[in-house]
A and B are shown apart, each in its own frame.
Chain A
């Protein structure tokens, strides 16, 4: 069955950087687009970024454009999110999600990122 396992979360100071990883298994990773979606504590879901199955097409939410970079290594079945210039408002649980057409059909358990001094 599909399994997505995020890692790399933690506490970081404002202006700092963090790289999240999402290890995928149970499906042919290089056939599917992948997303990052985040959820601030007690708040709703916010789409963050998408990367096409081959990495050739990438889109970001305006709130992270220029600061976050999504990438993937199909040889390692792993999705990444490089987060730079972090702000307090980036504090959230970050989920990776498998794309299925225009929906998100499988989700990881999430990794918590806390931006605080």
Chain B
């Protein structure tokens, strides 16, 4: 199972919006509404930010939103804040009954 494709890095200024893409295939992202997104600060464990493409867990800011079109899922962060600077990973369930992650995207808040 190949990793999902994410941009290596994205950046934005405080208050702006950014979008991170996550591209897979019809056997994972495109085949199921089971895409999730994780935030990871350096030296810390990942934190669930979005599940089932667009649902937010309790306690996660509504500045985080998710969507999907075909084989590509997206995470949008609006009103960027300094604390949003972190690595972000997408994940999808697959037709092989396994899970696959994206390679990760480093978000820099300028």
Q: Are B45 and A44 in contact (CB under 8 A)?
A: no
Q: Are A59 and B97 in contact (CB under 8 A)?
A: yes
> Quick check: is A46 within 8 A (CB to CB) of the other chain?
yes
The distance from the CB of B63 to the nearest CB of chain A, in whole angstroms, is: 19
> How far, in whole Å, are A22 and B3 apart by their CA atoms in the complex?
26
Q: Are A105 and B51 in contact (CB under 8 A)?
A: yes
> How far, in whole Å, are A35 and B47 apart by their CA atoms in the complex?
15
Q: Are B101 and A44 in contact (CB under 8 A)?
A: yes
A contacts with B: majority SS: strand
> How far, in whole Å, are A61 and B99 apart by their CA atoms in the complex?
8
- CB contact list, A36-50 vs B, under 8 A: 37, 44-47, 50
CB within 8 Å of B: which residues of A? 35, 37, 44-47, 50, 59-62, 95, 100-110
CB within 8 Å of A: which residues of B? 1, 3, 32, 34, 36, 38, 40, 45-48, 51-52, 57, 89, 91, 93, 97-104
In the complex, the number of residue pairs spanning A and B with C-beta atoms less than 8 Å apart equals: 65
Beyond the given A45-B89, A50-B99, A102-B52, could you list 19 further A-B residue pairs with CB under 8 A, ordered by the A residue number? A37-B46, A44-B3, A44-B101, A44-B102, A44-B103, A44-B104, A45-B104, A59-B97, A61-B98, A100-B48, A101-B34, A103-B36, A104-B36, A104-B38, A104-B91, A107-B45, A107-B46, A109-B45, A110-B45
Q: Are A101 and B51 in contact (CB under 8 A)?
A: yes
What B residues does A62 contact at CB under 8 A? Answer: 1
Chain B residue nearest to A93 in the complex (CB): B45
Q: Are A45 and B1 in contact (CB under 8 A)?
A: no
